Structure 1
Amino acid sequence: MCSLEKRGDVFILTITGDSDHRLNPELLDSITAAVAQVKSESTPSTALITTAQGKFFSNGYDQAWALSDPARPKIISKKLRLLVEDLISLPMPTIAAVNGHASAAGFILALSHDYLLMRRDRGYLYMSELDIGYPIPRWFVQLVRSKIGSPKIWRSVVMAAAKITAEMGVEWGIVDSAHNGIEATVEAAVKLGADLVGRKWGGEVYAANRRVVFADVLAVLGSDETVGDSGDADVASVMNHKL
């Protein structure tokens, strides 16, 4: 599901395979375990890159898995929220090297990193909830707000379900840089990671500062009202759309 390699002081976590990398417990557990390994093997100054193989970074939640049991959407939501909390608390800079489409929860996973680099020739960032009739979770919105300063751009992302290319993302301030092909994107991420490592910041201080910056996000990660206890029938109905 995931591979982990290290180049100098830069870890590269790769979601493997040619699928659309939908988020289910198996994949989320694999990513979470890799992040924990990075934390355990980190030095005082380290960086993490997250990328994926194929045409997709992640196409969101695994609908087929979730719909087989009304309780399953809660499981996926909790695992993703815990992973995002881990990334916010990770004692190092984090970089998403987005290789292709990142939709809904997959977009949220990419946004959970400090920096977002994207290939220019394929893929888009897409908060698809409005198009598919899914109520966006409050914690998704809080994370998007923390990353996007302009109200007009925020409206385009959340309330107009814009499909954001790499060039659009750079223009809108969501994407840090765009590159031709996945190899160039990852190499740019490695260079950025090495530059950040070279600053020799203390990892624990870096994580403490990030937790302060994203305190509003952390405050809402404890629950997800879209998969709460208001009724399993409602949950199943909501999840009966493509995420």
Structure 2
Amino acid sequence: MAYQTIVFEAQDGVARLTLNRPDRLNSFTVQMHEEVAEALGRVAGDSSIRALLLTGAGRGFCAGQDLGDRAVAPGAEPVDLGDSVERYYAPLIRSLTSLPMPVICAVNGVAAGAGANIALACDIVLAARSAKFIQSFANIGLIPDSGGTWVLPRLIGQARALGLALTGDPLPAEQAEAWGLIWRCVDDDVLAGEAAALASRFANGPTSGLAATKQALRESSLKSLDAALDNERDLMRRLGRSADYAEGVAAFSAKRKPAFTGR
């Protein structure tokens, strides 16, 4: 598929997906949704890809929905935003969170609206020091979508989640790190290198174990302690029979670097 709104490449076990509408701060159109969905389908179906790096082109990560892509005007026929969520944003979040590999987001600038919550759907978020996270929905009379109502209180608590959602005030990357909203804030000039190094590390790691780890942690808030313990038992039973576990133990015993295959 020839992409027009994203750049997609895969090399050495790492898939890199760049939102590529820099003149519109990489805001989403229907075409971008379709292209991202196709690219994520390729990632999910290619066993040679063992890590995904998501970022944006230009001076911003993603400004959310491109409002110019919707025919919304006073007095015009209302647009069914629920249909937009159901057809595009919800499937995107489900795809990102269910990929059987680590997903890294490098937030290189503003992440606003759905753009902020798409970033937060990734497993590890690195942000440039100049980046800001903005729940801008309140400014146009909407609620945080793309999983925002679910992820925000779980990451930073209800008081801070409500503050961000109701005010729409920008949250600087350094504060986002201090609050536990993201993994790390780094200087702008090292963001790309840090993200690439982390993606390479994961691409050479025990992929099945990493995928099981993200699955177990993401599901833990929906389980009782007993159910979580049972899930840990089942996952450990499966992973204990994997080639990567055998290689990890052998490498540890031999005091050498493991050569994981992702199996």
**TM-score over 0.5 for the pair:** yes
Q: Which residue of 1 aligns with 2:95?
A: 86
Aligned partner (choices 138, 148, 159) of residue 140 of structure 1: 148
Q: Which residue of 2 aligns with 1:130?
A: 138
Structure-2 separation of matches of 1:65 and 1:125: 22
The amino acid that maps onto 1:90 is L
Measured after TM superposition, the shift of residue 184 of structure 1 is 2.1
Cα contact 1:128–1:161 (8 A) shared by 2: yes
Q: Which residue of 1 aligns with 2:64?
A: 60
Residues 1:76 and 1:28: Cα distance change in structure 2 (over 3 Å): same
Structure-2 separation of matches of 1:11 and 1:215: 30
Residues 1:36 and 1:160: Cα distance change in structure 2 (over 3 Å): same
Measured after TM superposition, the shift of residue 211 of structure 1 is 5.4
Cα contact 2:61–2:108 (8 A) shared by 1: yes
Deviations 1:145-184 (A, max 9, x none): 23x1433432332233231112111111112222232x62
Matched, 1:200 2:206: yes
Structure-2 separation of matches of 1:214 and 1:10: 29
Q: Aligned residues, how many?
A: 212
Q: Which residue of 2 aligns with 1:29?
A: 34
- Identity level (%): 21
Judge which range, 81-90 or 156-165, deviates more: 156-165
TM-score (norm 2): 0.71
Structure-2 separation of matches of 1:41 and 1:118: 27
- Structure 1 gaps, min length 5: 217-243
SS at match of 1:48: strand
Measured after TM superposition, the shift of residue 206 of structure 1 is 4.7
Residues 1:133 and 1:98: Cα distance change in structure 2 (over 3 Å): same
Structure-1 separation of matches of 2:11 and 2:145: 36
Structure-1 separation of matches of 2:146 and 2:53: 27
Q: Which residue of 2 aligns with 1:219?
A: none
Superposed CA RMSD in Å reads 2.5
Structure-2 separation of matches of 1:175 and 1:138: 17
Measured after TM superposition, the shift of residue 210 of structure 1 is 5.4
Measured after TM superposition, the shift of residue 113 of structure 1 is 0.2
Measured after TM superposition, the shift of residue 188 of structure 1 is 0.8
Judge which range, 30-39 or 156-165, deviates more: 156-165
Trace 1:171-190 onto structure 2 (pairs within 5 A). Answer: 171-181=178-188, 184-190=190-196
Aligned partner (choices 10, 17, 40) of residue 6 of structure 1: 10
The amino acid that maps onto 2:203 is V
Q: Which residue of 2 aligns with 1:228?
A: none
Aligned partner (choices 103, 108, 113) of residue 112 of structure 2: 103
Judge which range, 102-111 or 184-193, deviates more: 184-193
Cα contact 1:126–1:163 (8 A) shared by 2: yes
Structure-1 separation of matches of 2:70 and 2:222: 29
Measured after TM superposition, the shift of residue 41 of structure 1 is 1.8
Which structure ranks higher in relative contact order (CA pairs < 8 Å, sequence separation ≥ 6)?
1
The amino acid that maps onto 1:180 is D
Residues 1:212 and 1:186: Cα distance change in structure 2 (over 3 Å): same
Matched, 1:170 2:177: yes
Q: Which residue of 2 aligns with 1:51?
A: 55
